[in-house]
Amino acid sequence: MQQSMTRQVVQPSAGIIDDIEREDDSKGYEPEDAVTVPRIVPVPAVVDEIGPRYPGAIYQNTTGRYEVLALITDPAEAARLLRRNSARWAVIVRDTLRPDGQPHAVGMVWTNEDYLLRPGKPPYAAAA
């Protein structure tokens, strides 16, 4: 009679998890069979970020009252004006509460803290 020198190692048991894994193994499931769905991070639309700030509009928030002089939607020009490579747009405004208010570019998104006092003209007209 020949004796085996191998010894059976007792596997630790984690209860139901081990049962599920054994069942998956018996059916041939592999972790790499699982499909991973890439997470899509929603990017706010430029139109939503700009809000109603078209040329001629006047809006107010906690920092002042501003007249919109120009709307820049070219990302390269907006990045140059705001000195920020990630800029996608810029609004050139003038603070109407200051007598010495000079035009300057801003890139702050439209929030519920901003409110429109006078609408501006959209850069395009709706098709008839």
When comparing pLDDT for 86 and 17, which is higher? 86
When comparing pLDDT for 73 and 25, which is higher? 73
Which of left, alpha, beta for 41 (phi over 0: left; psi -120 to 50: alpha)? beta
Residue 23 has a pLDDT of 76
What share of the chain in percent tops pLDDT 90?
Answer: 53
- Per-residue b/e over 6-21, b at no fewer than 16 CB within 10 Å? eeeeeeeeeeeeeeee
Q: Is the pLDDT of residue 126 over 60?
A: no
Q: Is the pLDDT of residue 89 over 60?
A: yes
Q: Is the pLDDT of residue 84 over 90?
A: yes
C-alpha span between 48 and 122 (Å, rounded): 14
Of the pLDDT bands very low, low, confident and very high (cuts 50, 70, 90), residue 54 is very high
What share of the chain in percent tops pLDDT 70?
Answer: 69
| Domains of the chain by residue range | 46-118
Q: Is the pLDDT of residue 68 over 60?
A: yes
Mean pLDDT, residues 84-104 taken together:
93
